[in-house]
Structure 1
Amino acid sequence: MSPLRRLLLALCLPAMLLPPAVPFPAPSTDWAACRDLSQRLSRLLGTMKESHRVLHGVHLGGEEDSEGDCAPRIRCSDACDPSTLDMNNTHCLQRILQGLQHYRAVLGSDIFASRPQPELKAVLEGLLGLVQVPVHSCQPPPTPPTASWARPLLQHDALERLRSFTAVMSRVFTHSASAR
Protein backbone atom coordinates (compact mmCIF):
# COMPACT_ATOMS: atom_id res chain seq x y z
CA MET A 1 0.00 0.00 0.00
CA SER A 2 1.41 3.37 -0.98
CA PRO A 3 2.26 5.93 1.71
CA LEU A 4 -0.24 8.39 0.24
CA ARG A 5 -3.03 5.82 0.37
CA ARG A 6 -2.14 4.95 3.97
CA LEU A 7 -2.22 8.62 4.93
CA LEU A 8 -5.64 9.12 3.30
CA LEU A 9 -6.97 6.00 4.97
CA ALA A 10 -5.59 7.12 8.34
CA LEU A 11 -7.24 10.51 7.97
CA CYS A 12 -10.58 9.27 6.63
CA LEU A 13 -11.08 6.14 8.72
CA PRO A 14 -11.89 7.94 12.01
CA ALA A 15 -14.41 10.16 10.20
CA MET A 16 -16.09 7.14 8.63
CA LEU A 17 -16.42 5.39 11.98
CA LEU A 18 -18.12 8.33 13.71
CA PRO A 19 -21.90 8.58 13.59
CA PRO A 20 -23.18 11.35 11.35
CA ALA A 21 -23.22 14.71 13.08
CA VAL A 22 -26.61 16.26 13.75
CA PRO A 23 -26.12 19.99 14.24
CA PHE A 24 -29.47 20.61 15.97
CA PRO A 25 -31.81 17.89 17.07
CA ALA A 26 -35.14 18.32 15.35
CA PRO A 27 -37.91 19.00 17.85
CA SER A 28 -40.54 16.33 18.00
CA THR A 29 -44.27 16.92 17.98
CA ASP A 30 -46.34 14.90 20.42
CA TRP A 31 -48.97 13.75 17.91
CA ALA A 32 -51.19 11.97 20.43
CA ALA A 33 -51.36 15.00 22.71
CA CYS A 34 -52.06 17.24 19.69
CA ARG A 35 -54.84 14.86 18.62
CA ASP A 36 -56.39 14.94 22.08
CA LEU A 37 -56.26 18.74 22.36
CA SER A 38 -57.58 19.30 18.83
CA GLN A 39 -60.50 16.96 19.58
CA ARG A 40 -61.14 18.85 22.83
CA LEU A 41 -61.12 22.13 20.88
CA SER A 42 -63.57 20.66 18.39
CA ARG A 43 -65.89 19.54 21.21
CA LEU A 44 -65.73 22.97 22.86
CA LEU A 45 -66.58 24.67 19.59
CA GLY A 46 -69.44 22.24 19.03
CA THR A 47 -71.04 23.03 22.36
CA MET A 48 -70.87 26.81 22.00
CA LYS A 49 -74.15 28.63 21.65
CA GLU A 50 -74.65 31.61 19.37
CA SER A 51 -74.96 34.91 21.18
CA HIS A 52 -77.63 35.94 18.64
CA ARG A 53 -79.82 33.27 17.00
CA VAL A 54 -80.14 35.29 13.82
CA LEU A 55 -76.42 34.72 13.15
CA HIS A 56 -76.81 30.96 12.84
CA GLY A 57 -76.05 30.13 9.22
CA VAL A 58 -74.65 33.58 8.37
CA HIS A 59 -71.35 33.53 6.46
CA LEU A 60 -69.09 36.46 5.73
CA GLY A 61 -66.95 36.24 2.63
CA GLY A 62 -63.90 37.78 1.07
CA GLU A 63 -62.13 39.21 4.11
CA GLU A 64 -59.82 36.24 4.63
CA ASP A 65 -58.34 36.71 1.15
CA SER A 66 -56.94 40.10 2.18
CA GLU A 67 -54.56 38.26 4.52
CA GLY A 68 -52.86 36.49 1.60
CA ASP A 69 -50.52 33.75 2.77
CA CYS A 70 -51.30 34.56 6.42
CA ALA A 71 -54.85 33.34 5.98
CA PRO A 72 -55.61 30.85 8.76
CA ARG A 73 -56.81 28.06 6.54
CA ILE A 74 -55.22 24.84 5.45
CA ARG A 75 -54.97 24.62 1.66
CA CYS A 76 -54.30 21.65 -0.61
CA SER A 77 -50.84 23.09 -1.26
CA ASP A 78 -49.98 22.83 2.46
CA ALA A 79 -49.26 19.10 2.14
CA CYS A 80 -51.62 18.01 4.91
CA ASP A 81 -52.93 14.98 3.05
CA PRO A 82 -52.11 11.57 4.59
CA SER A 83 -49.65 10.42 1.93
CA THR A 84 -47.58 13.60 2.22
CA LEU A 85 -47.79 13.74 6.02
CA ASP A 86 -46.16 10.33 6.25
CA MET A 87 -43.14 11.59 4.29
CA ASN A 88 -42.76 15.22 5.37
CA ASN A 89 -45.07 17.09 7.73
CA THR A 90 -43.09 20.32 8.17
CA HIS A 91 -45.07 22.52 5.78
CA CYS A 92 -48.40 21.31 7.15
CA LEU A 93 -47.30 21.90 10.75
CA GLN A 94 -46.09 25.38 9.83
CA ARG A 95 -49.53 26.21 8.42
CA ILE A 96 -51.24 24.78 11.51
CA LEU A 97 -48.96 26.81 13.78
CA GLN A 98 -49.74 29.98 11.82
CA GLY A 99 -53.46 29.27 12.17
CA LEU A 100 -53.17 28.61 15.89
CA GLN A 101 -51.26 31.87 16.36
CA HIS A 102 -53.88 33.74 14.33
CA TYR A 103 -56.82 32.39 16.31
CA ARG A 104 -55.06 33.04 19.61
CA ALA A 105 -54.69 36.68 18.51
CA VAL A 106 -58.34 36.86 17.39
CA LEU A 107 -59.61 35.44 20.69
CA GLY A 108 -57.47 37.99 22.54
CA SER A 109 -58.64 40.91 20.40
CA ASP A 110 -61.33 43.49 21.09
CA ILE A 111 -63.77 41.37 19.07
CA PHE A 112 -64.05 39.04 22.08
CA ALA A 113 -63.65 41.70 24.78
CA SER A 114 -67.29 41.37 25.85
CA ARG A 115 -67.37 37.59 25.40
CA PRO A 116 -63.97 36.17 26.35
CA GLN A 117 -63.26 32.53 25.60
CA PRO A 118 -60.79 31.34 28.27
CA GLU A 119 -61.32 27.62 27.57
CA LEU A 120 -60.69 28.03 23.84
CA LYS A 121 -57.64 30.18 24.51
CA ALA A 122 -56.26 27.60 26.97
CA VAL A 123 -56.59 24.77 24.44
CA LEU A 124 -54.98 26.91 21.71
CA GLU A 125 -52.09 27.70 24.08
CA GLY A 126 -51.70 23.99 24.80
CA LEU A 127 -51.54 23.19 21.09
CA LEU A 128 -49.09 26.03 20.48
CA GLY A 129 -46.84 24.51 23.13
CA LEU A 130 -46.98 21.08 21.50
CA VAL A 131 -46.51 21.87 17.81
CA GLN A 132 -42.76 21.83 17.39
CA VAL A 133 -41.76 23.27 14.04
CA PRO A 134 -39.93 26.43 13.04
CA VAL A 135 -42.36 28.83 11.42
CA HIS A 136 -41.83 31.92 9.37
CA SER A 137 -43.50 34.86 11.02
CA CYS A 138 -46.54 36.04 9.13
CA GLN A 139 -48.08 39.30 10.22
CA PRO A 140 -51.42 40.24 8.69
CA PRO A 141 -52.19 43.96 8.56
CA PRO A 142 -53.39 45.40 11.88
CA THR A 143 -57.13 45.67 12.25
CA PRO A 144 -58.78 48.88 13.41
CA PRO A 145 -60.87 48.83 16.60
CA THR A 146 -64.17 47.08 16.08
CA ALA A 147 -67.48 48.86 16.52
CA SER A 148 -69.56 47.27 19.26
CA TRP A 149 -72.47 46.59 16.88
CA ALA A 150 -70.19 44.48 14.62
CA ARG A 151 -68.64 42.34 17.35
CA PRO A 152 -71.33 39.61 17.46
CA LEU A 153 -71.09 39.14 13.70
CA LEU A 154 -67.28 39.06 13.77
CA GLN A 155 -67.31 36.66 16.74
CA HIS A 156 -69.63 34.35 14.84
CA ASP A 157 -67.45 34.51 11.74
CA ALA A 158 -64.22 33.92 13.69
CA LEU A 159 -65.70 30.93 15.51
CA GLU A 160 -67.05 29.44 12.26
CA ARG A 161 -63.61 29.75 10.67
CA LEU A 162 -61.98 28.27 13.76
CA ARG A 163 -64.41 25.32 13.55
CA SER A 164 -63.41 24.67 9.94
CA PHE A 165 -59.72 25.04 10.72
CA THR A 166 -60.04 22.74 13.73
CA ALA A 167 -61.78 20.04 11.70
CA VAL A 168 -58.89 19.81 9.25
CA MET A 169 -56.23 20.19 11.96
CA SER A 170 -57.85 17.41 13.99
CA ARG A 171 -57.77 15.08 10.98
CA VAL A 172 -54.06 15.79 10.53
CA PHE A 173 -53.28 15.06 14.17
CA THR A 174 -55.49 11.97 14.26
CA HIS A 175 -53.83 10.50 11.17
CA SER A 176 -50.33 11.31 12.38
CA ALA A 177 -50.96 9.97 15.89
CA SER A 178 -52.27 6.66 14.53
CA ALA A 179 -49.40 6.36 12.02
CA ARG A 180 -46.77 6.46 14.75
Structure 2
Amino acid sequence: MKPFHILIALVAMYAPVAWSQCAPGIPSAGNPGCIPPDQSNSPYYQGTAPSAPQPVWADRWGAVAVDLGTGQSGATSDQGSESQARSEALSACERNGGTKCEIVLWYFNQCAAIAEKPEGGSFGKAHADTVERAEQLALQACGGGSCKVIYTKCSLPVRVQ
Protein backbone atom coordinates (compact mmCIF):
# COMPACT_ATOMS: atom_id res chain seq x y z
CA MET A 1 0.00 0.00 0.00
CA LYS A 2 1.23 3.42 -0.86
CA PRO A 3 1.77 5.93 1.99
CA PHE A 4 -1.02 8.10 0.62
CA HIS A 5 -3.52 5.23 0.74
CA ILE A 6 -2.44 4.38 4.29
CA LEU A 7 -3.15 7.95 5.36
CA ILE A 8 -6.63 7.86 3.81
CA ALA A 9 -7.36 4.51 5.43
CA LEU A 10 -6.28 5.85 8.84
CA VAL A 11 -8.38 8.98 8.44
CA ALA A 12 -11.42 6.94 7.44
CA MET A 13 -10.89 4.59 10.36
CA TYR A 14 -10.62 7.37 12.97
CA ALA A 15 -12.99 9.86 11.39
CA PRO A 16 -15.46 11.23 13.92
CA VAL A 17 -19.05 10.16 13.73
CA ALA A 18 -21.28 12.93 12.44
CA TRP A 19 -23.27 14.49 15.29
CA SER A 20 -26.57 16.17 14.80
CA GLN A 21 -26.96 19.76 15.89
CA CYS A 22 -29.06 20.10 19.10
CA ALA A 23 -31.56 22.86 19.65
CA PRO A 24 -30.31 26.06 21.33
CA GLY A 25 -29.76 25.57 25.05
CA ILE A 26 -29.30 21.80 24.79
CA PRO A 27 -25.67 20.67 24.98
CA SER A 28 -24.65 18.28 22.23
CA ALA A 29 -21.25 17.03 23.43
CA GLY A 30 -21.77 13.53 24.81
CA ASN A 31 -25.50 13.88 24.24
CA PRO A 32 -26.20 12.12 20.93
CA GLY A 33 -29.95 12.13 21.51
CA CYS A 34 -30.07 15.89 22.20
CA ILE A 35 -31.92 15.21 25.46
CA PRO A 36 -32.72 18.42 27.40
CA PRO A 37 -30.59 18.71 30.55
CA ASP A 38 -33.65 18.85 32.82
CA GLN A 39 -34.72 15.33 31.78
CA SER A 40 -33.58 12.48 34.03
CA ASN A 41 -32.13 10.47 31.09
CA SER A 42 -29.90 13.35 29.94
CA PRO A 43 -26.15 13.01 30.57
CA TYR A 44 -26.33 16.59 31.94
CA TYR A 45 -29.16 15.95 34.42
CA GLN A 46 -28.28 17.12 37.95
CA GLY A 47 -31.52 16.40 39.77
CA THR A 48 -34.22 18.83 40.73
CA ALA A 49 -33.21 22.35 41.63
CA PRO A 50 -33.55 23.17 45.31
CA SER A 51 -36.69 25.11 46.05
CA ALA A 52 -36.47 28.60 47.46
CA PRO A 53 -37.00 28.74 51.21
CA GLN A 54 -40.48 29.67 52.31
CA PRO A 55 -40.79 33.14 53.82
CA VAL A 56 -40.98 33.41 57.60
CA TRP A 57 -43.23 36.09 59.08
CA ALA A 58 -43.24 37.55 62.59
CA ASP A 59 -46.55 38.61 64.12
CA ARG A 60 -46.98 42.23 65.16
CA TRP A 61 -49.39 43.31 67.88
CA GLY A 62 -51.11 46.54 68.84
CA ALA A 63 -53.30 47.65 71.75
CA VAL A 64 -55.25 50.65 73.03
CA ALA A 65 -55.80 51.41 76.73
CA VAL A 66 -58.27 53.99 78.08
CA ASP A 67 -59.12 55.40 81.48
CA LEU A 68 -62.90 55.42 81.00
CA GLY A 69 -63.34 57.87 83.89
CA THR A 70 -61.05 60.59 82.53
CA GLY A 71 -60.80 59.72 78.85
CA GLN A 72 -57.00 59.54 78.98
CA SER A 73 -55.61 56.92 76.64
CA GLY A 74 -52.49 55.27 75.35
CA ALA A 75 -51.79 53.10 72.34
CA THR A 76 -49.02 51.09 70.80
CA SER A 77 -48.42 49.10 67.63
CA ASP A 78 -45.82 46.89 65.98
CA GLN A 79 -44.99 45.02 69.18
CA GLY A 80 -43.57 41.49 69.11
CA SER A 81 -46.17 39.92 71.39
CA GLU A 82 -49.62 40.46 72.85
CA SER A 83 -48.22 40.97 76.35
CA GLN A 84 -45.76 43.62 75.11
CA ALA A 85 -48.56 45.46 73.30
CA ARG A 86 -50.87 45.39 76.32
CA SER A 87 -48.12 46.48 78.72
CA GLU A 88 -46.96 49.34 76.50
CA ALA A 89 -50.52 50.60 75.91
CA LEU A 90 -51.23 50.61 79.67
CA SER A 91 -47.94 52.42 80.36
CA ALA A 92 -48.70 55.02 77.68
CA CYS A 93 -52.17 55.59 79.15
CA GLU A 94 -50.67 56.13 82.62
CA ARG A 95 -48.01 58.49 81.23
CA ASN A 96 -50.87 60.50 79.70
CA GLY A 97 -52.53 60.90 83.13
CA GLY A 98 -54.79 57.86 83.33
CA THR A 99 -55.12 56.23 86.75
CA LYS A 100 -57.54 53.40 85.98
CA CYS A 101 -56.41 52.42 82.49
CA GLU A 102 -57.75 49.28 80.90
CA ILE A 103 -57.22 47.62 77.54
CA VAL A 104 -60.20 48.32 75.29
CA LEU A 105 -58.75 46.95 72.04
CA TRP A 106 -55.93 44.63 71.04
CA TYR A 107 -55.13 43.21 67.62
CA PHE A 108 -52.39 41.50 65.64
CA ASN A 109 -51.46 41.34 61.97
CA GLN A 110 -54.37 43.69 61.26
CA CYS A 111 -55.53 47.28 61.40
CA ALA A 112 -57.60 48.81 64.20
CA ALA A 113 -59.95 51.77 64.51
CA ILE A 114 -61.87 53.54 67.25
CA ALA A 115 -64.84 55.80 66.60
CA GLU A 116 -66.40 58.11 69.16
CA LYS A 117 -69.74 59.91 69.48
CA PRO A 118 -68.76 63.34 70.89
CA GLU A 119 -72.06 64.27 72.52
CA GLY A 120 -72.82 60.92 74.10
CA GLY A 121 -69.36 59.71 74.99
CA SER A 122 -70.01 56.29 73.47
CA PHE A 123 -67.42 54.67 71.26
CA GLY A 124 -66.99 51.74 68.91
CA LYS A 125 -63.88 49.73 68.23
CA ALA A 126 -62.90 47.20 65.61
CA HIS A 127 -60.03 45.45 63.88
CA ALA A 128 -59.93 44.14 60.32
CA ASP A 129 -57.59 43.36 57.45
CA THR A 130 -57.65 46.97 56.15
CA VAL A 131 -57.94 50.41 57.74
CA GLU A 132 -61.05 51.13 55.70
CA ARG A 133 -62.82 48.00 56.92
CA ALA A 134 -61.77 48.63 60.54
CA GLU A 135 -63.11 52.22 60.33
CA GLN A 136 -66.40 51.01 58.87
CA LEU A 137 -66.85 48.42 61.62
CA ALA A 138 -65.89 50.90 64.37
CA LEU A 139 -68.45 53.43 63.08
CA GLN A 140 -71.13 50.72 63.06
CA ALA A 141 -70.21 49.66 66.60
CA CYS A 142 -70.36 53.30 67.73
CA GLY A 143 -73.90 53.65 66.49
CA GLY A 144 -73.41 55.75 63.38
CA GLY A 145 -74.88 59.24 63.30
CA SER A 146 -72.37 61.76 64.57
CA CYS A 147 -69.66 59.17 65.33
CA LYS A 148 -66.21 60.07 64.07
CA VAL A 149 -63.12 57.90 63.72
CA ILE A 150 -60.56 59.14 66.25
CA TYR A 151 -57.88 56.43 65.99
CA THR A 152 -56.51 54.11 63.30
CA LYS A 153 -53.34 52.09 63.23
CA CYS A 154 -52.05 48.91 61.63
CA SER A 155 -49.72 46.28 63.06
CA LEU A 156 -48.84 44.11 60.10
CA PRO A 157 -46.59 41.03 60.11
CA VAL A 158 -42.95 41.55 59.24
CA ARG A 159 -40.97 39.21 57.00
CA VAL A 160 -37.94 37.99 58.94
CA GLN A 161 -36.63 35.49 56.36
More helix by share: 1
Give the TM bin, normalised by the shorter chain. Answer: under 0.3
More strand by share: 2
Larger relative contact order (C-alpha < 8 A, sep ≥ 6)?
A: 1
- Give the number of the structure whose alpha-carbon radius of gyration is greater: 2
